[in-house]
C-alpha cells in the first residue's frame, strides 16, 4: 500500500505492474473498496499494465489533509480527486475504469479532461454524470423502490442508522444488488474494514443528499459542478459493462445506455452478474480494459 498527497487528500492506493507500462486507474464504488479489483489488477499487471487502485475519499486509509475540509461526496469532488491523483503521480494519460462512484469519477474526468484519458470502462448507467437539475422528477415506482437507501440517507435517522450499522447496511446492499453472487464472509469482511474510516458516514450521506439538491457542495468544486450541469458529452473510446442481474441500476436498452457518448462506445450485458462487475466478472472487466489499450 502506498500513500500520496493529491489535492485535499492523502490518498492510499495500490500500485501494481511495471512503472513504464500503460497506466490504468481502477476505481471502486459504494459500498465497496479496492478489493473489488484484486483479480482485475493482478491480470492487468501480468499483461504489462501499471494499475493504480485508490481508496476513494471516506474509505479505508485515505484521509483528508485538513480537518476543516467539507466531507463532500459530490460528483465534482470525486472527479477532482481523480484528476489530482493523476497529477500527483505524474500520469499524463490513463485508461480510467470504474463503476458506481468510481465510474462517476472516471466519467467526470473523461468528459471534462479527455486529453488525460486513453479510454473509459464504465459500469451502469454508462454515462454516470448526475443531472441534479432533474433530481426532483420521480422515476417509475420500481426504480424508486430500488433507490430506497438513498432516500433513507437523506435524514437524521438514516445518518444515525448508517453510523450504527454500517457493516449490516452495506452487506444488505451487496446481497440486494448482486443476487447471484455468493460472496463469502471473508470476501465481505475484507472490504468492510474500509467502512470504518471516520469520514465514511459524512461523505456517503453528503453524496446522497447533494445529488438531490438537499445540501450545498464544497465551493472549491462549484466550477466543475457548473460544467457538469451542462451534460458534457464523453468523446473518448468507451466500453460499458452492464450486470444482467444488477439489483439497483435501472433496466435500459442499448440505445438508452449509450446516451451521452459522442465517441466510439460499445456495451456488453453480462448475464448473471450484479452491480459489483469487476469483482464478479474480473476476466471480462480486464478484457474491456485491454481492448481499449489495443485500439
Low-confidence ranges of the chain (pLDDT < 70): none
SS3 sequence, the chain? CEEEEECCEEEEEEEECCCCCCEEEEECCCCCCHHHHHHHHHHHHHCCCEEEEECCCCCCCCEECCCCCCCCCCHHHHHHHHHHHHHHCCCCCEEEEECHHHHHHHHHHHHHCHHHEEEEEEECCCCCCCCHHHCCCCCCHHHHHHCHHHHHCCCHHHHHHHHHCHHHHHHHHHHHHCCCCCCCHHHHHHHHHHHHCCCHHHHHHHHHHHCCCCCCCCHHHHHHHHHHHCCCCECCCEEEEEECCCCCCCCCCHHHHCCCECCCEEEEEECCCCCCHHHHCHHHHHHHHHHHHCC
CATH code for the domain of 231: 3.40.50.1820
- Residue 185: domain span: 2-293
pLDDT at 295: 82
pLDDT at 232: 98
Q: For the segment 224-270, what is each residue's pLDDT rounded down to a tens digit?
A: 999 999 999 999 999 999 999 999 987 778 999 999 999 999 999 99
Q: For the segment 52-74, what is each residue's pLDDT rounded down to a tens digit?
A: 999 999 999 999 999 999 999 99
**Structural domains counted in the chain:** 1
Amino acid at each position: 500500500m502506498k500513500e500520496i498527497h493529491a489535492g485535499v487528500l492523502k490518498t492510499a492506493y495500490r500500485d501494481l505492474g511495471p512503472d513504464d507500462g500503460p497506466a490504468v486507474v481502477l476505481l471502486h464504488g459504494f459500498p465497496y473498496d479496492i478489493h473489488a479489483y484484486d483479480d482485475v489488477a493482478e491480470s492487468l499487471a501480468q499483461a504489462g499494465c501499471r494499475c493504480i487502485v485508490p481508496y476513494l475519499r471516506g474509505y479505508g486509509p485515505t484521509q483528508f489533509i485538513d480537518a476543516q475540509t467539507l466531507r463532500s461526496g459530490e460528483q465534482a469532488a470525486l472527479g477532482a480527486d481523480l484528476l489530482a491523483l493523476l497529477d500527483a503521480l505524474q500520469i499524463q494519460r490513463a485508461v480510467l475504469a470504474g463503476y458506481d462512484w468510481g465510474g462517476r469519477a472516471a466519467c467526470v474526468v473523461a468528459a471534462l479532461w479527455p486529453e488525460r484519458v486513453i479510454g473509459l470502462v464504465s459500469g451502469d448507467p454508462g454515462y454516470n454524470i448526475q443531472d441534479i437539475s432533474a433530481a426532483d422528477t420521480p422515476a417509475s415506482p420500481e426504480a424508486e423502490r430500488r433507490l430506497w437507501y438513498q432516500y433513507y440517507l437523506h435524514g437524521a435517522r438514516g445518518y444515525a442508522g448508517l453510523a450504527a450499522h454500517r457493516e449490516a447496511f452495506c452487506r444488505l446492499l451487496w446481497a440486494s444488488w448482486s443476487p447471484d453472487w455468493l460472496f463469502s464472509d471473508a470476501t465481505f469482511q475484507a472490504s468492510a474494514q474500509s467502512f470504518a474510516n471516520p469520514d465514511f458516514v459524512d461523505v456517503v450521506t453528503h453524496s446522497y443528499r447533494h445529488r438531490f439538491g438537499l445540501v450545498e457542495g464544497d465551493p472549491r468544486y462549484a466550477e466543475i459542478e457548473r460544467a457538469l450541469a451542462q451534460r458534457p458529452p464523453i468523446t473518448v473510446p468507451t466500453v460499458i459493462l452492464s450486470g444482467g442481474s444488477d439489483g439497483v441500476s435501472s433496466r435500459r436498452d442499448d440505445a438508452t445506455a449509450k446516451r451521452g457518448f459522442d465517441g466510439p462506445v460499445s456495451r456488453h450485458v453480462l448475464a448473471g452478474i450484479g452491480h459489483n462487475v469487476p469483482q464478479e466478472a474480473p476476466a471480462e472487466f480486464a478484457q474491456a480494459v485491454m481492448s481499449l489499450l489495443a485500439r
